[in-house]
Chain A
Amino acid sequence: EAQVTQNPRYLITVTGKKLTVTCSQNMNHEYMSWYRQDPGLGLRQIYYSMNVEVTDKGDVPEGYKVSRKEKRNFPLILESPSPNQTSLYFCASREVGTGANEQFFGPGTRLTVL
């Protein structure tokens, strides 16, 4: 089954404790992206990657890191989480081309930083 998976689905942590949220897709997509969803703010892009070893900042990259060492994986790293990073996080992937290029979303990771 074609899908985007994220782990963990739920995470409660404390300020300053480094964490990684993994994202993996099995569709051989070049493009992957991380978003955060907050009430009243919709989805905001954190980082995206057009291909292996190519990453770029989105609209709200502060406090986050990513890496793209393999095509299928795009982990989101919070080196020193803070309470304002409490949010619902989504990973997405799509093909790169001239068509509609539907983005496929993972199920989300709900992060709480105390």
Chain B
Amino acid sequence: GEDVEQSLFLSVREGDSSVINCTYTDSSSTYLYWYKQEPGAGLQLLTYIFSNMDMKQDQRLTVLLNKKDKHLSLRIADTQTGDSAIYFCAESINYGGSQGNLIFGKGTKLSVKP
């Protein structure tokens, strides 16, 4: 079945870049997403990328997509303490009755040290 894998923890120093990696299995996914969950809160969409794109940049965020390897990454430049959160990668199911459902990874907890 579909699966989304990501490492569980990442620790960086304030001001450094963070790179969170994700692999997915459904090559037909139309969109891939990054969600952010701050402590005690729900998930918020950070950014997404359409499957025919290789890269998307939005201020400090850069998303890279390698469709051949089914690899997605999120780079946060100049990481701040406010970026400490859990980051979820998700792919959209693009077939059958579940079309549009999201499959989430287990989340990467980003800790930013001052």
Task: Please judge, given known A-B contacts A100-B31, A100-B48, whether A43 and B42 are in contact too, CB under 8 Å.
Answer: no
Choose from B44, B101, B106 the contact partner of A45 (Cβ within 8 Å): B101
With A102-B45, A105-B44, A108-B41 as known contacts, state yes or no: A40 contacts B101, CB within 8 Å: no
Is A96's beta carbon under 8 Å from chain B? Answer: yes
Chain A residues near B40 (CB-CB < 8 A) = 108
Please give the distance in Å from B105's CB to the nearest CB on chain A. 6
CA gap between A88 and B33 in the complex, in Å: 21
Q: Number of B residues contacting the other chain (C-beta, 8 Å)? A: 22
Please determine whether A100 and B106 come into contact, CB atoms closer than 8 angstroms. Answer: no
A106 to B37, CA, bound (A): 12
Q: Which residues 13-42 of B have a CB within 8 angstroms of A?
A: 31, 33, 40-42
Q: A-side binding surface: helix, strand, loop or mixed?
A: strand
Contact A107 B41 (CB under 8 A): yes
Report how many residues on chain A are interfacial, defined by Cβ distance under 8 Å: 25
Chain A residues in 8 Å Cβ range of B104: 35, 42-44
Interface string of B88-114 (1 = CB under 8 A from A): 100010000110111011110000000
- In the complex, A56 has a CB within 8 A of chain B: yes
* CB of B69, distance to nearest CB on chain A (Å): 21
Q: With a CB–CB cut-off of 8 A, which chain B residues contact A100? A: 31, 33, 48, 50
